[in-house]
């Protein structure tokens, strides 16, 4: 009979000991409280909030080296979500699509699509795509390649995104208006 009582008592002692050991054996880590997020004009948070939403294409020009500028005829949308995902889609006519392909900008049936996670750089005023397995920033690429940063400028509810070559010469300029 004694043997039958010893096993439950040992089990209870082991359970209590492991509870105490888990509770007091390891250091108690409290969450680290950060400072307040700067949401004032000019802050990263305010820039992300401003970009969030749907934008409609006003105009888009491509400046291929050694060629005449190519104004895109068509329509487009740009969507930036609360998770920093950026998707751009531009639809253009067949003649413009042919000129763009010759300038190093591929399209599928006149549709140019780019998407990825966007990193906002307040100091340099750039947006950069972060695409897993994509080319690194600064690698040789075409005028609209996702590894080229987009320099941004805001005037009212108009967003201008410009890509530049390695020497700083403008390769493309897109103007977008925020949709209400």
Asked whether 107 and 93 are in contact (CB, 8 A), the reply is: no
Q: What is the mean pLDDT of the chain?
A: 80
Q: Which residues face 155 on adjacent strands?
A: 158
Confidence (pLDDT) at 145: 78
DSSP-based three-state secondary structure for 116:
strand
Under a CB-based contact definition with an 8 Å cutoff, are residues 105 and 62 in contact? yes
**pTM of the shown model:** 0.71
Per-residue pLDDT at 73: 87
Nearest to 78 by CA among 100, 98, 60, 66: 60
**Which of 147 and 177 is assigned the larger pLDDT?**
177
pLDDT class for 59, splitting at 50, 70, 90? very high
Angle CA 24–27–32, to nearest 5: 135
For each of the domains in the chain, give its residue range(s) and CATH number, in order of start.
44-178 (2.40.128.120)
Amino acid 38: pLDDT: 47
pLDDT tens-digit map of 109-164: 899 988 888 889 989 999 888 776 665 555 556 777 777 889 999 898 999 999 99
């Amino acid at each position: 009979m004694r043997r039958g009582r010893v096993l439950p008592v040992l089990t209870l002692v082991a359970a209590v000991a492991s509870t105490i050991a888990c509770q007091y054996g390891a250091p108690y880590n409290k969450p680290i409280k950060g400072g307040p997020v700067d949401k004032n004009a000019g802050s990263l948070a305010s820039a992300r909030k401003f970009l969030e939403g749907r934008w409609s294409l006003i105009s888009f020009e491509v400046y291929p080296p050694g060629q005449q500028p190519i104004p895109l005829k068509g329509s487009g949308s740009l969507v930036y979500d609360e998770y920093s995902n950026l998707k751009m889609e531009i639809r253009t006519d067949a003649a413009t699509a042919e000129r763009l392909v010759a300038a190093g900008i591929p399209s599928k049936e006149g549709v140019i699509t780019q998407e990825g996670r966007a990193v906002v750089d307040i100091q340099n005023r750039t947006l950069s795509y972060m695409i897993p397995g994509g080319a690194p920033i600064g690698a040789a690429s075409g005028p609209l390649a996702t590894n080229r940063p987009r320099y941004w400028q805001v005037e009212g509810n108009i967003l201008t995104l410009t890509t530049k070559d390695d020497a700083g010469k403008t390769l493309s300029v897109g103007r977008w208006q925020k949709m209400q």
